[in-house]
Amino acid sequence: MKLGLIGLPQSGKSTIFSAIAGARGEEKTSRSDQLITTVKVPDERVEFLAKIYKPKKSTYAHIEYLLPAQAPSAAGAKAENAVLTQARICDALIHVIRNFTAGGLEPDSEADFRKTEEEMILSDLVVAEKRIERMELDGKRGKKPDEEEHALINACREMLEAGDPLRANPELAAAPVLRGFTFLSAKPQLVIINNDDEDETLPEWKRNPPNVEKLVVRGRLEKDIGTMTPEEAKEFMEAYHIQDSVLDRVIKSSFRLLSLISFFTVLNEEVRAWPLRQGLPALEAAGTVHTDMKKGFIRAEVLSFDHLKQYGSVHEVKQKGLVHLEGKEYVVKDGDIIQFRFNI
C-alpha cells in the first residue's frame, strides 16, 4: 500500500515526509528523485504470536509513503500538475496544507485546499472526457462500447463538471471498472494541517470537504522529534502535549482511509502480519502471501487471534473447536491467523 504526499509549494510536504521517515522509516531515492519511505506498522499482536510460536523471524506489515519529485524547471500550476501526476499511482493521498505564516503570507488553509482540489477535479475531467471521446469514436467504427464502463465514465464526468470530487460518491469511486483510470479525486484523502510550533488547533472551514480525514501536525516539531533519542523525544512530546508521534497517527489514519485490516501467517519459521482491504475473501489473502497459494488454493485453516490470546495456546484453541476450515469465499477478519492449504 502506498500513500502520496501532495500540496502547494511551501506547504511543508518535505518537512512532514521527513518527520514520517525519521521515526522508523527507511528513506530512499528513486531514479526520478522521488522520495519513498517504507515504515513498519506497529502491532503488539506480532510480538504476542512470536512468544507463542517462537519463530526465527517476525515481520510486521509495512506501508510506503511517497514524496513526488519537484520538476526543477516548472513553476506554479505546472509544478503542481507534475506532483499530482506522480501521485496517481498511489492508493491514497496525504494532502499537506500550510497553516503558518510563510514569506510574509498569512495562511488560508481552506483556500489552499480548494485550489489543489480543483486541480485534481480538472485533471480527472480531462481523463474522463478523453475516454468518452475514444468510446464514441470506437462506436462510429462499429465497436460496441462496454455499457457499464460507458455509464460509469459519464457519471464521473457529470460529477466532475459540477465541481465535485469523485470520492463524494464512494460507490462510484470504488468501482472496479474505473480502477485503471487512477482518478485523483476518487482516492481516499488525509488532510494534514501543518501548524506553527505553538498552535495545536484545527482551523475552522466554512465548508468541510466530503469523505476526508483531518489531522493537525506541527511539522517542524515533529521533524525534530524524529532525530531525537527515545528519552529526549518523550520529554519533548510531553512539553508540547504530543501524545503520539506523527508517524503513529498517520499510520492509524492510513489504515482507516484504506479500510485495511491485518491477518497473520506462520510459515517457514516466520510470523508475519499482512495488510488486506476489509471485506476481501480468503482467496485474495492467499494471493497476497504468494501467487501460487492463490492459484492452487484448497482451504484456509483459520483461528482468531483473540481466541489464541484468551486460551494461551493453539492446542487449547483446537480443543475448544475454534479452529475452522474455510473456502475461498470466506471473508477474512482482522486478527485472523491463517494457514493456507494449496496444491500446485
Which pLDDT does position 82 carry in this prediction?
A: 81
**pLDDT, average across residues 170-195:** 94
Residue labelled with grid coordinates 455499457: 147
Find how far residue 294's CA is from the centre of its chain.
24
pLDDT digits (tens, 9 = 90+) for 87-112: 999 999 999 999 999 888 899 999 99
pLDDT digits (tens, 9 = 90+) for 40-95: 888 999 999 999 999 999 999 999 999 988 765 555 566 677 888 899 999 999 99
pLDDT digits (tens, 9 = 90+) for 216-240: 999 888 888 878 888 888 888 888 8
Answer yes or no: is 174 within a domain. no
Give 272's pLDDT tier (boundaries 50, 70, 90).
very high
Which residues sit opposite 223 in a β-bridge?
none
The whole-chain average pLDDT of the chain stands at: 90
Answer yes or no: is 307 within a domain. yes
- Greater confidence (79 vs 321) lies with 321
Compute the distance between CA of residue 36 and CA of residue 80 in angstroms, rounded to an integer: 19
**Closest to 156 in 3D by CA, of 176, 135, 138, 129:** 129
Answer yes or no: is 329 within a domain. yes
Q: Which sign does the torsion angle of CA 338, 339, 342, 344 carry?
A: positive
Answer yes or no: is 243 within a domain. no
Number of structural domains (the chain) is: 1
The three cell numbers locating residue 24: 522508523
pTM of the model: 0.86
**pLDDT, average across residues 135-139:** 89
Answer yes or no: is 305 within a domain. yes
| CATH assignment at residue 301 | 3.10.20.30
The DSSP secondary-structure symbol of 149 reads H
Answer yes or no: is 226 within a domain. no
321: containing domain: 279-342
The three cell numbers locating residue 22: 525519521
339 C-beta neighbours (distance < 10 Å), count: 14
Answer yes or no: is 319 within a domain. yes
Which pLDDT does position 77 carry in this prediction?
A: 61
Answer yes or no: is 158 within a domain. no
Compute the distance between CA of residue 195 and CA of residue 221 in angstroms, rounded to an integer: 10
**Closest to 11 in 3D by CA, of 113, 114, 93:** 113
